[in-house]
Every structure is written in structure tokens, then in C-alpha cells.
Amino acid sequence: MNCAPLFTDLAIIVPLLLFFSSSSSSWREKERDMKGVSSAPGDYVYFKSQVPLHKISIGAKQWRYYDFGPKTVPPLICIPGIAGTADVYYKQIMSLSMKGYRVISIDIPRVWNHQEWIHAFEKFLDSMNVHHVHIYGTSLGGFLAQIFAQHRPRRVKSLVLSNTFLETHKFAAAMPWSPIVNWTPSFLLKRYILTGIRDGPHEPFIADSVDFVVGQVETLGREDLSSRLTLNVNVASVGPLLLSDSFITIMDTIDYCAVPQQLKDQVSERYPGARRAVLKTGGDFPFLSRPDEVNLYLQLHLRRVGVEAKPELVKGFSGDGNAGSSMGENNGRDHFDNSGKDHEDPGAQEGGSDLTESFNSETHGLHQQVLAKLLLNVFYNLNFSMHVSCASLILQYYALSLYITSKQV
């Protein structure tokens, strides 16, 4: 009897089981978090009530996407990472569409190799009657955006790449059990993906972004998860692009990210003439935790590459679509520069002063939001016997903040 195949399978499965069991306590905590994410953020509930979710079949592929904004404007297409869905970009859809831009946010369909992705995405664009696109891709989505731009250069007019990479060799080496990913149960795939999300503690807005994405992971089926992991570990690399570096913006967070810094540095080295948008904080999901900064940089990018917004055609939202803003006092002036040049103020860009003024105005009430989240965290961790004494201090602080606010007005 030839036992070699059996030993080969065990060589893959045993390390996999050991890996899962070694972090079981962390997974139990995250699974508990997944079950607790039942109440969606208020701005997301409003978004769902205003923006329809589209589902179409193109051949054997199922596409799930949002499409909002003036249809005469060349679209910005948002492609998420492994843990993301079309919903994770709802803050970008709300904000940019109100300013007259068209935003299409997609789920990555069930494709199993990069060539299949290229053909499927091209057919999707054809079905939408969209010939030229601007793509905002994060993590795996940024890699897929580059692959598409390499093989279909006439269709991609610009790229915004966030926390992404050029090649998958490192991920393939870190996942020796990839040959059996198609047979791995859904709960194990979800656990594996969640191990890539940094455990807390997080500041409130980053914690909220993690909670939201964890909730989205729970909505994904086994085939969705396994196909995305397969795309992430299929050994491949991005070749040269015909797209000029001047039409590329690299938007990275510098606090922490699941994508190793070495891989992000390779992206910057590959496109030395690209604009750089540096987010000092934001974690893995800055589009949720730092939406105002991300939206501003996206708007500046679209202006720079010649996309003309048409706010006069905007319909739908009655507000500015920026509930849950996460801008800090100085973050609106974070770094946006050309490689090798001094950092610039986004408001100093051509036509950018009105952006910065609007940008700052959208952060009104931020301190109340931060205060509320901090107080909730404090109350959650206090013993009941301490609540009464703490409540008195909180009421005094709140009264003082109201007094200061009234004086400023």
C-alpha cells in the first residue's frame, strides 16, 4: 500500500489544525464579536434606504454591486480586499455621489485565477456600458486593479492603490494548506481571515471599522471566501503598466496594516512618479475609519486626472453623506505629495481651498461623537457600583462642553 499521498495530506492538514487550535481563544473572541454586530451604524442604515443593491448574472458569474451618482460621469470603481464587500465603501458612495461623482462598488465575484478575473471584470464593464474607468482598490482589490490595468490598458484611466501589493509569493508561502482551500469549511475560512485583522484595543473609529468588516465577513459564503483566498495565494506578480505614474495615487496608512510594509514599499518603488496620500492612522480599513480623509484624497485624485463632477445632476441624499466622520483636528492636512517632494497641504492644490473649507466644515460635532464613544467604552468596563459616582462627573463634563460650545457659537 502506497502511503505517500496520505502522508502528503497529513503534512498539510496537521499544521493547519495546529494553526487553528493555537489561536482558538482569539477566534472565540472574534466570533463573539461577529454575533454582536447586529446593530448597523445609523449612516449605513440610511445608505441602505437610499441606494439600491444590484445583483446581476453575467454568464456563470454573479455580480453584487452599488452604482450611484450621475451616469454621465466616468465612474470610480471600488474593489475591496478579501474581507470586504461592496458595502464597505458606503461612506465613499454617500460622500462622492453628493459632490457629483459616480461611484460603483463591487463584490469580487467567484473567480479562481487572475485571467478569469480579467475576463469577468471586462464583461461586467461591458454589461454596464462602461468603457473607461478609474479604479480604487484596497489590499487584494488593489492587486486585481493593477492586473486588470496591465492586461486591459485602454480601459483603465487611473488608479488609486491603498495598502496593496505587487506580487503574491509571500502570501502563498504563508498558506501551505492552499491546495485544500476549496474543501475547507466556511467557519475555518472565516477564522483564518479574521486572524489577519489586528486584535484591539483600537481607538473608537478604527474599532467601529473592524466591527463593520467582521460583520461583512459573516455574510460571505464558503465559495466566496475560498475563491478570494485562492486569488490571494495564486503565485503571480504585476507586470509593467502602460498607465503613466502621474495617473496613479498611492494611499497608505502608516500605523499598521495586514499587508507587510515591505510589500507596500514595493508598490511605491514601482511607481516613483505616483502621488502619495499618507494617512497617519486608520488601520486596515481607512475608508471606514477615516472616511473624510479618504474621500478628500479620492476627490483630489479625480480632479487631477480630469474627471469633471456634475453636482447639478445629483439626486437622492438630503445630507452630506458623512455621518460618522472620523477626522481628527489635523488629519485633514495630512500628507499628499509627489514622490521625492515635500509634503503638501491638500488645500494648496489647484482648486483645493474650497475642498479644505468644506472638508473642515464636515467635521462639526466630531468631539461630541468621540466623547460619546469614549463614555460608552468607559461605562461598559465599569462595575455597577461605580456608575453612580461616574455619572455625576460625566454630567458635569457634558454641561461644561455645552457651555464652551455655546460660547464658540
User: What is the rounded CA–CA span in Å between residue 161 and residue 143?
Assistant: 8
Query: What pLDDT score was predicted for residue 375?
Result: 41
User: Do 288 and 209 meet the contact criterion of CB atoms below 8 Å apart?
Assistant: yes
Compute the radius of gyration of the chain from its Cα atoms.
22
Which CATH number covers residue 47?
A: 3.40.50.1820
Which of these, 164, 104, 191, 145, lies nearest to 284 by C-alpha position? 164
Residue 141 lies in a domain: yes
User: Do 102 and 109 meet the contact criterion of CB atoms below 8 Å apart?
Assistant: no
User: What is the rounded CA–CA span in Å between residue 284 and residue 258?
Assistant: 7
For 76, the grid coordinates are 470610480
User: What is the rounded CA–CA span in Å between residue 324 and residue 336?
Assistant: 23
For 98, the grid coordinates are 453628493
Judge if 269 and 172 occupy the same domain: yes
Q: Which domain holds residue 396?
A: 368-408
Say whether pLDDT at 277 is over 50: yes
User: What is the rounded CA–CA span in Å between residue 60 and residue 393?
Assistant: 60
Query: What pLDDT score was predicted for residue 374?
Result: 42
Residues in contact with 371: Cβ distance below 8 Å, sequence separation at least 6, in sequence order: 397, 398, 401
Judge if 306 and 220 occupy the same domain: yes
For 272, the grid coordinates are 516613483
User: Do 91 and 287 meet the contact criterion of CB atoms below 8 Å apart?
Assistant: yes
Query: What pLDDT score was predicted for residue 198?
Result: 83
Residue 185 lies in a domain: yes
Q: For residue 167, what is the DSSP state?
A: B
Residue 341 lies in a domain: no
Query: What pLDDT score was predicted for residue 199?
Result: 78
Local confidence band at 202 (pLDDT 50, 70, 90 cut-offs): confident
User: What is the rounded CA–CA span in Å between residue 84 and residue 232?
Assistant: 13
Query: What pLDDT score was predicted for residue 18?
Result: 41
Average pLDDT over residues 317-333: 39
User: What is the rounded CA–CA span in Å between residue 389 and residue 194?
Assistant: 38
Judge if 264 and 378 occupy the same domain: no
Question: Which domain-ending residue is among 313, 330, 348?
Answer: 313
User: What is the rounded CA–CA span in Å between residue 88 and residue 255?
Assistant: 20
DSSP 342-366: --B-GGGSTT-HHHHHHHHHTTTTH
Query: What pLDDT score was predicted for residue 196?
Result: 86
User: What is the rounded CA–CA span in Å between residue 265 and residue 42?
Assistant: 37
Residue 210 lies in a domain: yes
In percent, how much of the chain has pLDDT > 70? 67
Judge if 382 and 242 occupy the same domain: no
pTM of the predicted protein model: 0.72
Coil, strand, or helix at residue 277? Answer: strand
Count of domains observed in the chain: 2
Residues in contact with 24: Cβ distance below 8 Å, sequence separation at least 6, in sequence order: none
Local confidence band at 213 (pLDDT 50, 70, 90 cut-offs): very high
Say whether pLDDT at 327 is over 50: no
Mean pLDDT, the chain, integer: 78
Residue 88 lies in a domain: yes
Judge if 259 and 391 occupy the same domain: no
Residue 119 lies in a domain: yes
Question: Between vectors from CA 252 to CA 65 and to CA 143, what angle results, nearest 5°?
Answer: 50
In percent, how much of the chain has pLDDT > 90? 62
Kindly provide the b/e burial profile for residues 170-190, where b requires at least 16 CB atoms within 10 angstroms of the residue's own CB. ebeeebebbeebeebeeebbb
Coil, strand, or helix at residue 166? Answer: coil
Query: What pLDDT score was predicted for residue 200?
Result: 74
Judge if 399 and 295 occupy the same domain: no
Say whether pLDDT at 13 is over 80: no
For 56, the grid coordinates are 446581476
Kindly provide the b/e burial profile for residues 318-355, where b requires at least 16 CB atoms within 10 angstroms of the residue's own CB. eeebbbbbbbbeebbbbebeeeeeeeeebbebeebeeb
